[in-house]
Every structure is written in structure tokens, then in C-alpha cells.
Structure 1
Amino acid sequence: MAWKSVKVLLASTATIAVASQVVKKLYKYFTTKERTRLDGTENDTCSEAVNIKYREINDVILFSDNVVRHTIRVPPNRDVTVCEGREQNCFKLIRYIKSARETMDVCMYLITSNEIAEQIIRLGQRHVLVRIIVDSEMALSPPSQIKRLKEYSFIQVQTSNKSVLMHHKFCVIDGPNAIKRKNILKSYAEKLNIHVSATQTSTQLKPKPSKAFVMSGSLNWSTQAMVSNCESVIVTSNANIVSKFEKEFDSLWTENEPAFK
């Protein structure tokens, strides 16, 4: 009888120990998740880039010395949370860049940020087609990242051939014209590749449509601008605005591929 009591006691103790471990793990999971949310790395109202694939975007990023959050209303009666805080907004800008699925066209006076250059390289590694136009005088001036970016075949870089200063600072992500161009280039490359069969090309899954948007403002993609200057960036998926920026980029880009019809 005593031995049975001992066995029951041991079994109860083991059950309690296992249960306590489960409770600890659950507690750790939920407290970590809550801490993550409060720290702004998940479900942060200022992390607008988290779910931007298929929705309308009207956003403002302000690089300021004051950490302030406020809400503005833009047509058609939509609330936009404006976040002013350098570290947070650097993270937010990169989240928008990382969200590119098919193409990214960048027209920038200069690019010196190592972090942004790293994200551009990662986009290319995910088969996002990247085109960059920079001012000819600033392209190779230290600490420009252009020389580094030009080493990758999936990143196309051109310097502005205009006699005037190329002072644009905008980026079009997943623009309709750029995606069409990418598909034509891909189709042309497949025709040249004798190792790609018709069956392979016809059975490939079509990518889901991406939401095109543009980022434009006073901000150069430089560490100096993000750390020390007062800058602003407007982010919008308004189709009319995206179209105008795409046309401007195309007017500056010199084609060196097969003619597109």
C-alpha cells in the first residue's frame, strides 16, 4: 500500500513539473509577443509596410529630432499615422523597400547608406529587378554605394546623361510598366535559352499582383540625411501619381535591351 502511495505521489509530482514547464513556456511566449508589439516590431501603427501588398497606401515619413506621433486625415477620409523618430523611421523606410516583389526603380541624387545598399542586394537575390539612376557627379564620390551595387548583374545602374543636375529623390516599387518590361525581358531570355522547354515556361505559376507605390520627398538615401537632417518622404499608391513617376523614370532611363512593343 505504501509503495502505491509513493508511485501516486511520484506521478503527481511529475505531472505538476510538466504542467509548470508548459505554463512557463506559454507565459514566455505571450510576454515575448506582447513585448515585441510594444517595442514596435510587430503590429506597430507606424510599421505601415507590414501589410502593404494589396491595399491603398497614403503615408508620411518625417525624419525629425522629436519623437512624436500624430494622425492626419487625407482623402477619402483616411487616417494616416505620422511617426517622427529617426531610428523608427529608418526601419520603416527599409520595410517599404523590402516589400518590393517584382521591380524597383530608383532615381536618387546619391546613395551612401550601407544598410539600404544591403537591402537592394537582397532584393536582387530574390529576383526583384532593380534599376537605379544617380547623378553622374555623385555616382562614384565616396562614400557612394554605386560601385558596390554595379557588381551585381541583377542591379542595373545608370548615371544621368542630362546636362542639368539630376536632383530627383524617388523610388517606384512594383510599377506596372516596370513589371511589363521585366516579363518581356524574361520571355526574351527564355527564347534564347535552348534548355528551357515550352512545358517549363507554360506550367510556371504566375505571381500574385503587387500593389504599386511610390516614395518621394527630400530624403537622399544617405546616412547623413537620415541621421542628421530634417527630411520628409511621402508614400502613396495613387495610380495617377505612380504613373507620372514611372514616366519620369522612363524618360531618364536609356534602354539597352531588345525593343519593347
Structure 2
Amino acid sequence: MTAASRIIFKSFLDLPPPERRKRLVSYLPKEEAEKLALLSFSHQDPTLGITEGEKLLDTFHYSWFESTLRALAPHDLSLFLSALSAPLQDRLIQDLGCSSELFSLKPQARAFLQKRVFEALTKETFPLLPLECLPQSPLNTLLFLSYPQKLKFIDLLSMHDLALELKLIIKKERFEKLMQILSEDERSYLAPLLKQTEHLSFRSMNLNKWDGNPATLRTLLRQRGINRLSKGMYGADPSLLWYLTRQLDMTSASLFQKLHTPLDNSLDFSRLQEQIINLIEPFREAPSKESPA
């Protein structure tokens, strides 16, 4: 039994009353019954239906499609682009230089082509759990944030690093310039951090040597936010990590995967997870209304 099948089976097995459930479990091989008993509750109820992988394509960042589609002949490229959503089409047409007209596809043809694209994106990966079968975790909320919201989340998380750095900056002018570059939300999140002791620190950003370019600061903060997120998600379900990285642009995802290493100190890891989960709460209360990519 595959991992996904086992989770779905357990979900159906949990539906009957306890006595009947116990009798049903007694018919299973001992080894299988033990595996079922160890399963945690799933993120959603798989008995209500499973989202097919190709239905998730709209949540993926457009950069993940480019290498697959770029290898296609012009006619085939137009055909596959026709199966994608309008936001993905617009960006990929621009990046891939597609000049051919798109096709008006019947639902069956669209579904077939979407499935082919999804298979191409997953051909070298492990067996993915359906979204509904992911183990319960507050981190699952990240999958339901739009792309701009994910970047905002990462940048806010980087304020923990910036709070440490700002305490080391002596020149008032440099401090004020840094604060002007930050968004209002970032300044609001940063303010209490400046009054607290940050127990978890990473390599210095050397902001005393910052060249004053806002883009340079933004790149540094994005890298620091990704570093905290990747290390705080160490040990998370592999399928969750796969879905999340496909929702990020390939550059950010590559950095996430590179930095996805364990912390030596378990207390630091707990603190980092707490920072991430606490930051997730406001996003959970504010559903996404932005474009996914």
C-alpha cells in the first residue's frame, strides 16, 4: 500500500463507530495495522475527494514551466500554452517568445494536456502525497498564500536578522536610510523585535558596509528570510516542501533547497519554528486576493 493509499484508507476506516472500526482493523495484517496506528491526522479529509495534480498547475510559479515548454516545437508550444490559465499564458508567451496563436480547447483536451505538463514537472520526483493527505501542520497554510504573499512572509521573517544588525549600526544616517526602504508592514513587525533579545543569529549581513542601494538590501533580506524559512521547515513532510518550492520562483526555490539544513541546537530550531508559526497566523486570517504568480 502506498503512503497516499494508506492515508486515504485510514480516513475511511475512521468513519465507522469505534467498535466497528476495531473489528475492521482486526482483519488487517498486524504490520499494516501498526502502520495505520502511527499515521497522524491528514491536513484535510481525503474521503471528500482528492485534488488531481494537474489542477494545481495554477499555483506553480511560471518559471517552473519554462524549461519543459522551451524544448517544444512552435505548434506544440502553442498547444500546451493553450491548456494553461491566462496569467500563466501571458507570462510564458512573453518569456518564451511564442508568436503562434493559441487554440480553443475542449475540456477533455485541456485536461489531457495539463496532465502531461504535470507529469513532466514531476517525472523525477518521489511519489507525492495529494494535498488532502498532507499531515496536519500550521506550515500547510503557506501553500495557500499567493506568490506575493509568500514573498512578503519571507521578507517579514528576515526582520529578525535585520533587528540584530540594526543594533550594531552606529551611524544615524545609515539607520534612517535603512528604515525608509522598509515597507510599513516591515517597520511595524520590526519595531518590537528591536526591543527584544534575538537568541538565534546567523552570519552577519555586514550592513555597516552596505552600499546604500535599496536593491542590494532587498536581496540580502530575501536571502535571510529564505534561510530562516528553510531551516525552520527542516523535517517537514517532503510533499509539503515540494509543493512549496514549486510555488516559489526557481531562484528562491533553489536557495531554499540549498539552505535546507538542520540547526545544531534543538532549542534554536524550536525558537525558529515558533517565529515562523507566529508569523503565519496573520496570513491565515487574511485570505489571498492576489495573483498566484
TM-score bucket of the superposed structures, by smaller chain:
under 0.3
Greater C-alpha radius of gyration = 1
More strand by share: 1
State the TM-score, normalized to the length of structure 1.
Answer: 0.23
Greater length-normalized contact order (CA 8 Å, ≥ 6 residues apart)? 2
TM-score by length of 2: 0.21
